Amino acid sequence: MKILKRWPNRLTGILIFALVCQLIFLGTVVAQEDTEQRRRPVASPDDVQTKSINLRIIGKTPEMIQTRYMNFLVTESTEVVDSKGKTMELAKMPVPCTAKIQYEPGRLNNPFVWRIIYKGPLSGATTAWSPPIMK
């Protein structure tokens, strides 16, 4: 009789353990997908189908540039040039500013930026990093 009373408690424990294992597995899969999405493929802008767009950059972090509508991922290989073609560092680019961005569309609306052509600053521009904007 005691065994029958304990059985539902053991079964509940097993089900809870299985649920926790599934949640951990799901979190691992999501984390791997996010890591793969942030990793830039080894290629050049000439080898990949890219798009260009003129827009206003309203913020920047070491990992991304922020616009009004979406964020763009940047890496060490992202080239930043001024309108004369002179190379500059992302850290020294003042924001907000206008720029032409050459990018490769990515998953989850986070395209990879291959090249930023800096056009000019907007009022209140500073070279400081921006806090991330959550959307």
Give the model confidence (pLDDT) of 71-114 as tens digits: 899 988 899 999 888 999 999 999 999 999 999 887 667 788 99
φ, ψ dihedrals at 80, nearest 5°: -115, 120
Signed CA dihedral, 90, 96, 98, 104: sign only: positive
51-126: which CATH architecture? Beta Barrel (2.40)
Tokens found for residue 79: 């080239």
Please give the model's pTM, rounded to 2 decimal places: 0.63
Whole-number Å distance between alpha carbons of 95 and 58: 6
Chain centroid to CA 113: how far? 10
The DSSP secondary-structure symbol of 28 reads H
